Amino acid sequence: MYTYEYPRPMLTADCVVINAMAEVLLIRRGNEPFRGCWALPGGFMEMDETIERCAVRELQEETGIVAGEERLRMVGVFSRPGRDPRGRTVTVAYRIDVEGEVDAHGGDDAAEARWFPLTALPPLAFDHAEVIAAATTAS
């Protein structure tokens, strides 16, 4: 095993899932930080997976929605220091467009999953308002 003198940031993936009615899928966080707040589905990458696999795994775990990696469109990388109170965290955000009625439910560490109009978002955890803005202006 290698040992480095440099600190290693945590890597996450977040999913901006948008339906045909211009709604975005959010989860209510079940854990700290921001417990009870709305956020994008996502989470930490495991050591044996790609960041794309992390995105689809977290989406399925937290909302029940199954999406293949081919549906992911990268929105960007969000790396501002302080964006996550747990420590230095970098996220790769992906947009996924879905058609029709898509049922979602909270699972894993998400207490709830719900669709919100893009024009009437609740206050969001982390920098997720910025991530959603980037995902909707890039389309």
- For residue 118, give the DSSP letter: T
93's tokens: 């955000």
Tell me if residue 130 falls in helix, strand or coil: helix
Catalytic, 49? Answer no
Contact 29, 62 (CB under 8 A): no
Beta bridge partners of 116: 24
51 CB-near residues (< 8 Å, 6+ apart)? 11, 13, 45, 92
Catalytic one of 52, 61, 112, 130 = 112
Catalytic positions = 112
